[in-house]
Chain A
Amino acid sequence: AQSVTQLDSHVSVSEGTPVLLRCNYSSSYSPSLFWYVQHPNKGLQLLLKYTSAATLVKGINGFEAEFKKSETSFHLTKPSAHMSDAAEYFCASNTGTASKLTFGTGTRLQVTL
């Protein structure tokens, strides 16, 4: 069975400082991995995805994530946080089975002045 674990339920950073949101995966197969962002009372939007090509994946809005098989991790980073980045972020994995996209429990990112 596959699963994803988001290690922090809440992260707070100051504007202009780096962002790190952590995700570990557990899968018997090579997974596809995703990060989604959700602003309050909105649907989710895909930030980036890893599908066994380059291990460093660049996404929208300056976010990127690195797939590390040895650590079973797929952490999301951004060099400099902006106020508009405040949202909830979800890591998800998919081993290719139809519709079995497994989501983590989410990390709420707070950005302060």
Chain B
Amino acid sequence: DGGITQSPKYLFRKEGQNVTLSCEQNLNHDAMYWYRQDPGQGLRLIYYSQIVNDFQKGDIAEGYSVSREKKESFPLTVTSAQKNPTAFYLCASTRGTTNTGELFFGEGSRLTVL
């Protein structure tokens, strides 16, 4: 079945540690996105990538980094510079290079900083 796989589903991190969240898709979609979800705040865009080896900052990119070395993969690193990293992180993709709004989402990764 085609879809988006995020791992790990749950992750605990100590303050000061970097952590990388994996996102893999087998939908042959061109564009991929990372969103952060906090209770009562909806989804906020962290980074997005429309093509391999290229990505752009979203609304809340500070303290995060990404790479897009393969079309299928778009990992997100939460760095120690992110002041409040505890959140639910969602990866998504769309067909084509512009966001038509029809996003396909993974099941998310919940990061907790201890």
Write the residues of chain A forming the contact surface with B, with a CB cutoff of 8 angstroms. Answer: 9, 32, 34, 36, 41-46, 49, 90, 92, 94, 96-101, 103-106
Question: Would B99 and A101 count as touching, CB distance under 8 A?
Answer: yes
Question: Would B101 and A94 count as touching, CB distance under 8 A?
Answer: yes
Residue B66, interface by CB 8 Å: no
Question: Would A103 and B97 count as touching, CB distance under 8 A?
Answer: no
Centre residue among B44, B45, B88, B100 by max chain A CB count within 10 A: B100
Q: In the complex, which residues of chain B have a beta carbon less than 8 angstroms from the beta carbon of A90?
A: 42-43
Total count of chain B residues near the partner, CB < 8 A: 28
CB distance from A111 to the nearest CB of B (A): 20
Q: Which of B11-19, B74-82, B104-112 contacts A (4 or more CB under 8 A)?
A: B104-112
Q: Which of B40, B41, B97 contacts A98 (CB 8 A)?
A: B97
Supply 26 A–B pairs (Cβ within 8 Å), ascending by A.
Answer: A9-B40, A41-B107, A42-B107, A43-B92, A43-B105, A44-B43, A44-B90, A44-B92, A46-B102, A49-B102, A94-B99, A94-B101, A97-B99, A98-B31, A98-B98, A99-B31, A99-B33, A99-B45, A99-B48, A99-B50, A99-B56, A101-B99, A103-B43, A105-B40, A105-B42, A106-B42
